[in-house]
Structure 1
Amino acid sequence: MKNKSKRFRPEFRDRAARMVLEEEKNHPSLCSAVMMIAPKLDIHPDTLSKSTRLHERADGLQ
């Protein structure tokens, strides 16, 4: 079985992270927001979670 690794452009990662942070307002936790958004973007939840944390650090939100 081959590991199909995807490379996402920085713009995609930033947009996905902003989507999660916006959606977090409607969920009890960041994790549940990630779990809702990840399948819609065809991205693994762990990857999306990491991108969101990096986005928060870069913007000084954390």
Structure 2
Amino acid sequence: MNVSKAVWRKSSRSSGNGGACVEVAGLSDAIGIRDSKDPYGPRLIVGRSEFAALLATLKH
């Protein structure tokens, strides 16, 4: 999947102290996840339903 034109955003809950942060990007039929400290490194691409399930699990 081509993510070269993806618009990545950092969580509003990320602190500004250089800690561990992730960025996400909405893709055509998936969600991209990457380490904000390594924007050119590996990316995880998951389906939208899988991402929704992850968020639901994290909120509980």
Does the pair score TM above 0.5?
Answer: no
**Of the two structures, which has the highest relative contact order with CA contacts closer than 8 Å and spacing of 6 or more?**
1
- TM-score when normalising by structure 2: 0.32
Point out the structure with the larger strand share.
2
- TM-score when normalising by structure 1: 0.31
Point out the structure with the larger helix share.
1
